[in-house]
Amino acid sequence: MKNRLEEIRKARGQRQEELADALEVSRQTIGSLENGRYNPSILLAFKIAKYFGTTIEDVFIYEEEESREEQ
């Protein structure tokens, strides 16, 4: 799964640490999300979308073709 988290965060002039504090997660979690090394729980995905006033689909991009290739 890909995401636009870094793009959205930077557009708001926010540091990883600031976002992490607001979401009550570690800065490393934000870094891992942005680098695609970690997929969030559904709860965290909802918190991120709500924080930015958008939908989960606007932040996280599910690519079905990618998951089919891995099977």
pLDDT the model gives residue 64: 78
Question: pLDDT by residue for the chain (71 residues), tens digit each?
Answer: 899 999 999 999 999 999 999 999 999 999 999 999 999 999 999 999 999 999 999 999 988 765 555 55
Q: Which residue has the tokens 């090394």?
A: 37
pLDDT the model gives residue 69: 55
Question: What architecture is the 2-70 domain classified under in CATH?
Answer: Orthogonal Bundle (1.10)
From the CB of residue 49, how many other CB atoms can be counted at a distance below 10 Å?
17
Distance CA 55, CA 71 (A): 28
> Which of helix, strand or coil describes residue 20?
helix
Distance CA 29, CA 55 (A): 20
